[in-house]
Structures are given as C-alpha cells and as structure tokens.
C-alpha cells in the first residue's frame, strides 16, 4: 500500500514552453503533498507544500509564478513549470502524507525534466 506515482517519468522540452507533472496517491488519500527538487548528486530541496483545496505554501526563494502547484483532490497534485529554461532542468520528486496520525511521507519515483 501507500503507492505514489508520477507522470511523466521523464520529459524533454524546448525553452519557453510549460511542462506539467502529475503526482498521484494510488491507494490512499493524501492530506498533504510535497514537491521537491533534486540537483545531481545533491539532496532534496523542498519547493512547496500543498494541501487539498488550498493554496500551496512555497519555500523561500521558490518562484510561485514559475512553479504552479495545484492540489485539486486528495489523490492528485500537479506541478507546472511555466516558461521553462535550461536552469530548470532537474529531477522533481513529489511525496504524499497520509495524515497527522501517521507521520510518514511516501515518495513518487520522480520526474526528470530536461529543458533544451
């Protein structure tokens, strides 16, 4: 149980285009979802926290107009990288939390974005 999927697993796009990444909790309802970014050989950097039906909370330094997060349901959150540039190329990972009682996050497999 507690499986989180991401789609697509990898994407290549041209500079200036927008890319949407989906994060789904397949067998549970996620009260909270998190979006992380990971640079090569580095740790995960939290970008934002999203709760279903409310606006995402962005970490300091993350541009909310560039990284649009929508948490439309308890099983789906999306990250849209708008007007992508080569410096946005990275590995994006989402995680989902079941609830306050169970303190655990379940991670998706990640999406590798390459912007040409």
Residue numbers at the binding site for another protein (CB under 8 A): 4, 6, 31-32, 34, 41-44, 46, 49, 93, 95, 97, 99-100, 103-110
Instruction: Write down the number of H helices and E strands in the chain.
Output: 0, 11
CB of 115 to another protein, least distance (A): 19
CB of 31 to another protein, least distance (A): 7
Would you say 2 or 82 has its CB closer to another protein? 2
Find all residues with CB under 8 Å of 22, minimum gap 6, and list them. Answer: 6, 7, 76, 77, 78
CB of 103 to another protein, least distance (A): 5
Round to whole Å and give the CA distance between 77 and 75: 7
């Amino acid at each position: 149980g507690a499986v989180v999927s991401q789609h697509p697993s990898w994407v290549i796009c041209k500079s200036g285009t927008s890319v949407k990444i989906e994060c789904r909790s397949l067998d549970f309802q996620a009260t909270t979802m998190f979006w992380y970014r990971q640079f090569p050989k580095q740790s995960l950097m939290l970008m934002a926290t999203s709760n279903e039906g409310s606006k995402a909370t962005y970490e300091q330094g993350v541009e909310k107009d560039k990284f649009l997060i929508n948490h439309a349901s308890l099983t789906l959150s999306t990250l849209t990288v708008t007007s992508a540039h080569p410096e946005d190329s990275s590995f994006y990972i989402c995680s989902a939390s079941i609830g306050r009682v169970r303190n655990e996050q379940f991670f998706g497999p990640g999406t590798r974005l390459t912007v040409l």
